[in-house]
């Protein structure tokens, strides 16, 4: 591990108590400001020790907190190992492990941080920094949505399970609510209970250092969680243990290797991975969990729904986030119908970016309801709890008759069942979102004759050392993997890395400013975030002192984005680029970047436009909208 941690411009600004613009001014005006030791032209990294020395030399006040110093030391190991080291820090603070991956100096700093601020607060600080650094790779449930989910299912007092727990966001939500209630009542710290990762040896009597509060009716008595990533599972276990929660956290594939087979909780909350095609369809065809029908290969979310119902007690509630398409896709129609007939599916609520399904495991001999709650809460989450309470008390005006759904396409898309008197409001909101999502094309000068500029090729730039190329190993194992992988689809759709692989030789870590190309798309990476290059992709890393990455990416896109250097149709190394100064390259690069932003905006507005058109048609047809006179 490097003993010289690095900081970026934002870190320097935070340490010195100034804005990022001030740091940029220091770099321009002072020739002796430390030179970057890593990173890219857009996101350079500086030696923390050199920055500290420079600040002292110029008499500028600064403060490197102990927490920042620990975090920078953890980051110095590199993105690929950052999660492991954060997990090791948790093991050290909970006294469940000797933290083999931490050197003695770093281990001492972690212990000091825990003693100074309390172990739980110290670890939450490190976890927050970790989630911030890997925000594009780690899917974390919004805190307001997580809090809403646990309130709706009443996750306090009994056993709560999250079968796709990630780093523990949903499992921690009841504890945050309990803490808030305790603070309102002036609750005092109380006793703690042990947490463990299954398969990890630990003395059950070992004490935990906890920032705790007394048991509350809202706090769960027992917590269960499973997560594919061993690193994330370990982080979750430490976060819970440091709050004094009795928890069992299993690392493993939930679908293929259910860590809680036969266990039934009082409530289940879940934010499963969306659109995961390799969920085990072939192996699990005859699985007893499919009580409401075999999930289609392309409907993994319906497998998660049934898994959650399997693990909740009769009359117990499930809150699970689902992709909006799951409410209407033809492939899942039969399972949706069976869930409705049995009285298991009680509500579908549209939230920003996803739908929330609320389910209740039917008790033997129980009469199923005749209506289901269907609600659009994309504009206001606060309407969900009152609407759910009104539904439970049989006084809701947001319900749809189940018999009507079964007679149709079993389409439970909330927008389709919008109350007619809300169509006008929904249209206005959709129109505002559509207009705000639109991007402005670059202001380009029209020339009568094309410029005759000296040119070079990508091949020449590679020979001159301005560009280096890399490709991923031809085979990458995903079994048990926890290293995020950028795939061809991610490059095409502008999404976060969605693949996983195991640590192995030949992986290509992605850095900010890298240009990644597939056969049909080119993308400049804003954040590496610990991801590695996936199959069928080529990475171009530029010398940022002489070549602008957006400039290179734009000309690759103009040439077709093909990356196979041996293709008989096109050799990417023959891509022609004008020889320009770095200043001129950046002007081109900014124009290319604006076009890329425009492309993303068009993709988003296409979806919003379809919603806008449908609401406009409905509103004009039923009289809730009228043409402007």
Pairwise CA distance, residues 5 & 109, whole Å: 14
Whether residue 241 is predicted with pLDDT greater than 60 in this model: the reply is yes
Q: Are residues 81 and 153 in the same domain?
A: no
Q: Are residues 286 and 406 in the same domain?
A: yes
In a domain, 616, yes or no: no
- What does the pLDDT read at residue 200? 35
Q: Using 50, 70 and 90 to split pLDDT, how confident is the model at 180?
A: low
Tell me which residue range forms the domain holding 51.
6-132
Per-residue buried b or exposed e for 235-255, using 16+ beta carbons within 10 Å of the residue's own CB: bbbbbbbbbbbbbbbbbbebb
In a domain, 363, yes or no: yes
Number of domains observed in the structure of the chain: 4
DSSP state, residue 97:
S
Structural domain ending residue among the three candidates 417, 446, 471? 417
Least confident of 267-281, 476-490, 529-543: 476-490
In a domain, 74, yes or no: yes
In a domain, 57, yes or no: yes
Q: Are residues 48 and 185 in the same domain?
A: no
The token pair that represents 89 in the structure block: 């820090």
Bigger pLDDT: 343 vs 60: 343
Structural domain ending residue among the three candidates 83, 103, 132? 132
Q: Are residues 352 and 381 in the same domain?
A: yes
Q: Using 50, 70 and 90 to split pLDDT, how confident is the model at 629?
A: low
- What does the pLDDT read at residue 190? 35
Range 171-184 average pLDDT:
65
Structural domain ending residue among the three candidates 417, 440, 466? 417
For residue 104, CA distances in Å to 3, 49, 122, 281 come to 12, 20, 18, 46
From the list 492, 496, 577, 500, the residue with the least C-alpha distance to 542 is 577
- What does the pLDDT read at residue 613? 84
Q: Are residues 263 and 378 in the same domain?
A: no
Q: Are residues 99 and 186 in the same domain?
A: no
Whether residue 568 is predicted with pLDDT greater than 70 in this model: the reply is no
In a domain, 191, yes or no: yes
For residue 222, CA distances in Å to 193, 194, 267 come to 10, 10, 11
The token pair that represents 477 in the structure block: 């194992």
In a domain, 433, yes or no: no
Indicate the pairing of strand 515-517 with strand 538-542: antiparallel
- What does the pLDDT read at residue 97? 57
Segment 417-472, tens digit of pLDDT: 876 556 677 778 778 877 777 677 888 888 777 788 888 999 999 999 999 999 88
Q: In sequence order, what DSSP letters do the residues of 343-367 get, joined into one string?
A: T-EEEEEEETTEEEEEEEPPPTTPP
- What does the pLDDT read at residue 136? 66
Q: In sequence order, what DSSP letters do the residues of 123-182 get, joined into one string?
A: HHHHHHHHHHHTTTTS----HHHHHHHHHHHT-SSSEEEETT-TTSHHHHHHHHHHHHHH
Q: Are residues 403 and 459 in the same domain?
A: no
For 583-591, the CB contacts below 8 A with 24+ separation are 585/547, 585/548, 585/551, 586/548, 586/550, 586/551, 588/548, 588/550, 588/551, 588/554, 589/548, 589/549, 589/550, 589/551, 589/553, 589/554, 590/442, 590/550, 591/442, 591/444, 591/554
Pairwise CA distance, residues 136 & 30, whole Å: 34
What residue ranges in 404-524 does DSSP mark as E strands? 455-457, 467-471, 483-486, 499-501, 515-517, 522-524
Q: CB-based contacts of 284: which residues, under 8 Å, 6+ apart?
A: 255, 256, 290, 303
Q: Are residues 105 and 163 in the same domain?
A: no
CATH number reported for the structural domain that contains residue 500 in this entry: 3.90.220.20
Segment 448-458, tens digit of pLDDT: 777 888 889 99
Q: Are residues 310 and 215 in the same domain?
A: no
Q: Are residues 88 and 33 in the same domain?
A: yes
In a domain, 628, yes or no: no
Bigger pLDDT: 49 vs 254: 254
Segment 280-323, tens digit of pLDDT: 999 999 999 999 999 999 899 999 999 999 999 999 999 999 99
Percent of the chain with pLDDT strictly greater than 70: 86
- What does the pLDDT read at residue 518? 85
Segment 203-238, tens digit of pLDDT: 333 333 222 233 344 567 899 999 999 999 999 999
Range 589-614 average pLDDT:
83
Q: Are residues 251 and 285 in the same domain?
A: no
Whether residue 615 is predicted with pLDDT greater than 80 in this model: the reply is no
- What does the pLDDT read at residue 565? 37
Q: Using 50, 70 and 90 to split pLDDT, how confident is the model at 134?
A: confident
Q: Are residues 242 and 295 in the same domain?
A: no
- What does the pLDDT read at residue 480? 54
How much is the mean pLDDT over the chain? Answer: 83
From the list 280, 229, 279, 265, the residue with the least C-alpha distance to 250 is 229
Q: Which residue has the tokens 């690392």?
A: 251
The token pair that represents 581 in the structure block: 């100064």
Q: CB-based contacts of 57: which residues, under 8 Å, 6+ apart?
A: none
In a domain, 587, yes or no: no
CATH number reported for the structural domain that contains residue 189 in this entry: 3.40.50.150
The token pair that represents 301 in the structure block: 């979310």
Q: Exposed, middle or buried by CB within 10 Å (0-12, 13-18, 19+), for 96? A: buried
Q: Which residue has the tokens 């931490």?
A: 102
Whether residue 596 is predicted with pLDDT greater than 80 in this model: the reply is yes
């Amino acid at each position: 591990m490097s003993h010289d941690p690095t900081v970026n411009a934002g870190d320097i600004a935070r340490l010195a108590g100034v804005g990022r613009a001030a740091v940029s001014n220091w770099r321009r005006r002072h020739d002796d400001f430390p030179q970057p030791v890593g990173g890219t032209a857009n996101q350079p990294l500086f030696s923390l020790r050199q920055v500290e020395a420079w600040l002292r030399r110029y008499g500028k006040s600064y403060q490197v907190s102990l927490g920042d110093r620990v975090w920078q030391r953890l980051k110095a190991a590199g993105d690929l190992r950052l999660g492991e080291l954060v997990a090791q820090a948790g093991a050290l603070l909970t006294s469940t492990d000797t933290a083999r991956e931490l050197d003695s100096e770093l281990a001492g700093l972690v212990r000091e941080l825990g003693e100074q601020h309390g172990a739980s607060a110290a670890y939450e600080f490190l976890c927050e920094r970790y989630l911030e650094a890997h925000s594009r790779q780690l899917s974390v449930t919004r805190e307001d949505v997580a809090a809403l989910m646990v309130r709706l299912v009443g996750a306090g007092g009994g056993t709560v399970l999250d079968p796709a727990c990630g780093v523990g966001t949903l499992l921690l939500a009841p504890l945050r609510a309990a803490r808030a209630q305790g603070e309102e009542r002036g609750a005092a710290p109380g006793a703690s209970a042990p947490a463990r990762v299954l398969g990890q040896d630990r003395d059950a009597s070992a004490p935990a250092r906890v920032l705790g509060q007394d048991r509350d009716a809202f706090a769960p008595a027992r917590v269960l969680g499973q997560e594919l990533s061993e690193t994330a599972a370990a982080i979750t276990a430490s976060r819970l243990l440091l709050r004094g929660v009795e928890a069992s956290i299993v690392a493993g594939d939930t679908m293929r290797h259910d860590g809680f087979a036969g266990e039934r909780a009082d409530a289940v909350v879940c934010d499963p991975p969306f659109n995961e095609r390799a969920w085990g369809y072939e192996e699990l065809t005859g699985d007893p969990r499919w009580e409401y029908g075999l999930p289609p290969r392309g409907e993994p979310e319906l497998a998660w729904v049934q898994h959650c119902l399997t693990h909740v007690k009769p009359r117990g509630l499930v809150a699970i986030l689902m992709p909006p398409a799951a409410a209407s896709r033809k492939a899942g129609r039969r399972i949706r119908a069976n869930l409705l007939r049995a009285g298991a599916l009680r509500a579908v609520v549209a939230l920003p970016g996803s739908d929330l399904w609320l389910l209740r495991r039917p008790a033997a001999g129980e009469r199923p309801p005749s209506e289901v709650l269907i609600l659009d809460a994309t504009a206001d989450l606060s309407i969900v709890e009152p609407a759910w309470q009104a539904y439970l008390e049989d006084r809701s005006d947001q319900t749809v008759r189940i018999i009507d759904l079964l007679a149709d396409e079993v389409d439970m898309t909330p927008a389709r069942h919008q109350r007619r008197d809300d169509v006008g409001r929904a249209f206005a909101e959709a129109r505002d979102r559509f207009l705000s999502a639109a991007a402005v094309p670059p202001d380009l000068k029209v020339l009568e004759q094309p410029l005759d500029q000296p040119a070079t090729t990508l091949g020449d730039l590679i020979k001159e050392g301005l560009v280096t190329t890399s490709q991923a190993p031809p085979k990458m194992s995903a079994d048990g993997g926890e290293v995020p992988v950028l795939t061809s689809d991610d490059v095409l759709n502008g999404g976060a890395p969605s693949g996983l692989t195991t640590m192995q030789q030949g992986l290509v870590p992605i850095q900010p400013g890298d240009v990644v190309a597939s056969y049909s798309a080119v993308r400049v990476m804003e954040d590496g975030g610990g991801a590695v290059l996936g199959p069928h992709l080529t990475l171009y890393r530029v010398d940022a002192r002489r070549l602008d990455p957006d400039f290179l990416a734009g000309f690759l896109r103009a040439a077709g984005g093909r990356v196979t250097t041996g293709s008989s149709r096109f050799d990417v190394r023959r891509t022609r680029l004008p020889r320009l100064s770095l200043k001129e390259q950046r002007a081109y690069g900014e124009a290319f970047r604006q076009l890329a932003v425009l492309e993303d905006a068009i993709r988003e507005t296409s979806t919003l436009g379809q919603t806008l058109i449908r609401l406009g048609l409905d509103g004009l047809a039923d009289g809730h909208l009228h043409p402007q006179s």
